[in-house]
Structure 1
């Protein structure tokens, strides 16, 4: 289908199609008005009792009728999150005249039932306001014919990618499959320049609006197919949330979601371009479903062409049953019968594609610094549940540690091991049997709780009480233990 026919067909014009540079000031007023009403992650959760990432249409009626009040924040939540028509007086309680005018002119709001209704959602992610299409198969999207146009809502995968991608200061960042622009917005904080690329013209317009809404001046968005618009350029960072769901044969292709028969069509193209697009030392961070995890390192090597010169970190969150995965992706089906049938066809398609395991997670590819590539390191690390907070410093530490080990081949490097301050040692004494020891980090989304041995406990306690030098434990039984703790994010190594 032709991308971006939805708003024209349903509402007579395309959302954000008329946005001009002169609109930026009024769009900034929308931001200020919403913030003044308390419209942010904290305020919305406090009022609704539900984290924004867990907001679902099944809760809309309950929130509307039995939870929200008549205050401005409640009106804003109804309008921009619950797909409700809101009376004009209530809308004007939190939107000023210039804000209301620009949202009407851009097609965000339309008049309905003596009030207004929003054609988009405005949610909050990482301190930003973010306009997306209405999410989780709301009433706007009544069938697969509409879904190809969709600019995805911010889910756990997009929020997780924003958390996993390192945030140390860099020059240029590229956001592939940029969608609403959320990765570009986050990257604008640590990059001098950000370029977002998407094949969907509707997504480009949403992303440009979101940049204006948040007052971001250093991000631009261009229409195109992956690396096509930026051929010949190098970037210090690449972030991407590509479509990665395996397609069901005979079903309509959903541009925002489907990644070919095995789910890896776009992923493979992006990773294979790492050598062209990454500057030396540059990082490419992707969120994706990880299919057949044991074989994934081999496939990544094939995509890269050769592992020499690249290091890869695969971060694994959790394993999903195939039937549950298929049922989740059948949610757009209008009836229970159709949803069950679609899920069954997807299970069959997964089997035909040779997919027997699915994990959620991330892939980070680094082009090695310098001009003398060494054999690449591909490492898989299990991390805690869903990443909802910044954790990219652990990724930076991982690659820094690889470089340290490379320099330490002849025993020339040294450093001090220190514990991650977010990690605690918990010992459980049982009535019978030996005590067990665990490292836990409830405030760190990277480090998974892990049971450790008595030897690891001794190293941890030593690092917590005094400096443990790498030169002292190198070559001893504690060396491999320390390496594993550093890779897990429980210890850090600072060179000296």
Structure 2
């Protein structure tokens, strides 16, 4: 059974199945009504007392009964985030008649006990409104098993990918495993054209609704298996949030989650396709779990076929003990015993395929611009924290630095990251220690530095330090490491006077 078939059987229709281009104006009215109520990231965070991505079902009752008021914003939160029925009078203070009519027509809202209930969540992220499926805890589903075609909620991996992917201007962007369409809609702001691909028909409908809900018109969503619908085209940017959780034997196969026995079945296909559809100078950004991190560069090289012509940046957010990773993915179980049993099975499944370490993070692949290829690189950077703010400029700088002719005639000036500051400590009776910190930059991890590094850093703050001056000296290696960590950038020289 699929969620579409379950919805059709119990609620008379599959969500968004009847949507047509003629509904765009009414869907736009939904956006206007929600915005007028203050339903955005800042407004929802204020009434919840937490970021919307931190919201958990355990908090629903407390928020509903003891926190939220009776204004339109509270009604929107109850209706679209807390799975609560809201009486008709209150809903009509939130939604205009065209909005209410189209949400009923598309199966988003259903009538219940003199009010309405939403069959979907509408989450606020990246200044977007994003419809996704609710969880199994919603009364809509009556305890049904987690069904394979669920359109995944917006999590920190989805939001993080949108922050990691560089946002420099692009002609054409591809969004693989597009799900709700969040990556496509963010990319629409810096791309002339965006194509989203997903194998799940339900996800395609959700993504098309979300594009209409946000008034975005330069995105197209097509049904297909990874690169198959777009194999004859090149893209300047690719973003991908593939299923990456290792499958547990005898468990339900979920399209949005399962990445094969080792979690890398789809990841390997996507990376290997870079040479086929990524334009020279193009960037492919992927969010994924990183298994056996020390061996990952070798596997990436195998997926690419050869690293020449490609550079890869692996960004590591955090590490999970294997047992904690398994326990997290057992949270769907209905009882404590079932959760324990599932976690045990996952631990054994991970062990059977040789997974001994688990990190979360991102993989970014750059196809070198024309004129190469030179020998490719795979570099790893440990991030300061989960990426909740834009960090794509650091990623773009990393590859721009690699592509410069640093041993030839290219020169530039080392510039400090303005978010980074130097902290010097002098413990009683001990030597001074120096540390670079960037509490407002998720990319740049705190780092203890040598006195030589401190001197270079301070020089970049107070004067122009030219690459040509430090090239070939002991400072070159220091500068390269600071650039790799995002603490420095290498700016081009201004054009010479005529």
Q: TM-score, normalised by structure 1?
A: 0.97
Q: Deviations over 1:392-424 (max 9, x none)?
A: 0001100000011xx123x42211001001111
What residue is the counterpart of 1:418 in the other structure?
415
The counterpart of 2:406, out of the listed 401, 405, 408, is: 408
| Counterpart for residue 396 of structure 1 | 396
Match of 1:147, SS state, is coil
Residue 316 (structure 2) aligns with: 316
1:435 pairs, out of 427, 432, 435, with: 432
2:453 maps to 1:487: no
Q: Which residue of 1 aligns with 2:332?
A: 332
Residue in 2 aligned with 1:64? 64
Q: Which residue of 1 aligns with 2:349?
A: 349
Q: Report the secondary structure of 1:362's partner residue.
A: strand
Q: Are 1:450 and 2:466 counterparts?
A: no
Structure 2 SS opposite 1:5: helix
Q: How does 1:77-92 map to 2 (within 5 A)?
A: 77-92=77-92
Q: Give CA deviations for 1:31-73 in whole Å, capped at 9, x if unaligned.
A: 0000000000100111110111100001101100000001110
Q: Is residue 3–residue 201 contact of structure 1 (8 Å, CA) maintained in 2?
A: no
Tell me the distance in 2 between the aligned counterparts of 1:10 and 1:455.
69
Give the Cα separation in 1 of the matches to 2:139 and 2:29.
Answer: 29
Give a deviation string over 1:141-171, Cα, whole Å, max 9, x none: 5667443121001101000000000000110
* SS of alignment partner, residue 107 of structure 1: coil
Determine the C-alpha separation between the residues in 2 that align with 1:136 and 1:438.
47
Give 1:431 shift: 2.1
2:461 matches 1:464: yes
Decide whether the 8 Å contact of 2:281 with 2:369 is kept in 1: yes
Could you tell me which residue of structure 1 aligns to residue 496 of structure 2? none
Q: CA RMSD in A?
A: 1.3
The count of residues paired between Structure 1 and Structure 2 equals: 493
> 1:295 aligns to what SS in structure 2?
helix
Report the secondary structure of 1:220's partner residue: strand
Shift of 1:258: 0.5
Deviations along 1:307-326, one digit per CA (max 9) or x if unpaired, are 01100000011111111110
Q: What secondary structure sits across from 1:93 in the alignment?
A: helix
Determine the structure 1 residue equivalent to 2:52: 52
Distance 1:484-1:13 versus aligned 2 partners, 3 A rule: same
Seen in structure 2, the aligned counterparts of structure 1 residues 6 and 484 have a Cα distance that, compared at 3 Å, is: farther
Q: Distance in 2 between matches of 1:358 and 1:90?
A: 47
Q: CA 1:329/1:138 → structure 2, altered by over 3 Å: closer, same or farther? A: farther
Q: Secondary structure at the match of 1:294?
A: helix
Residue by residue over 1:244-282, the C-alpha shift from the partner in whole angstroms, topping out at 9 and shown as x without a partner, is: 000001111111100000000000000010001101111
CA distance 1:366–1:136, shift in 2 (3 Å): farther
Q: Distance in 2 between matches of 1:125 and 1:369?
A: 33
How many Å apart are 1:477 and its aligned residue? 1.2
The worse-fitting range, judged by mean Cα deviation, of 430-439 and 3-12 is 3-12
Gaps of 5+ in 2: 494-498
Asked if structure 2 preserves the Cα contact closer than 8 Å seen for 1:414 and 1:469, the reply is: yes
In the alignment, what sits opposite 1:104? 104
Residue 470 of structure 2: which of 454, 473, 477 is its match?
473
**1:137 and 1:332 in contact (8 A); partners too:** no
Instruction: State the match for 1:20 in structure 2.
Output: 20
Whole-angstrom distance in 1 between the partners of 2:9 and 2:445:
47
Contact 1:141 1:147 in 2 (8 A): no
Within-5 A mapping of 1:81-480: 81-135=81-135, 138-140=138-140, 145-404=145-404, 407-409=405-407, 411-480=408-477
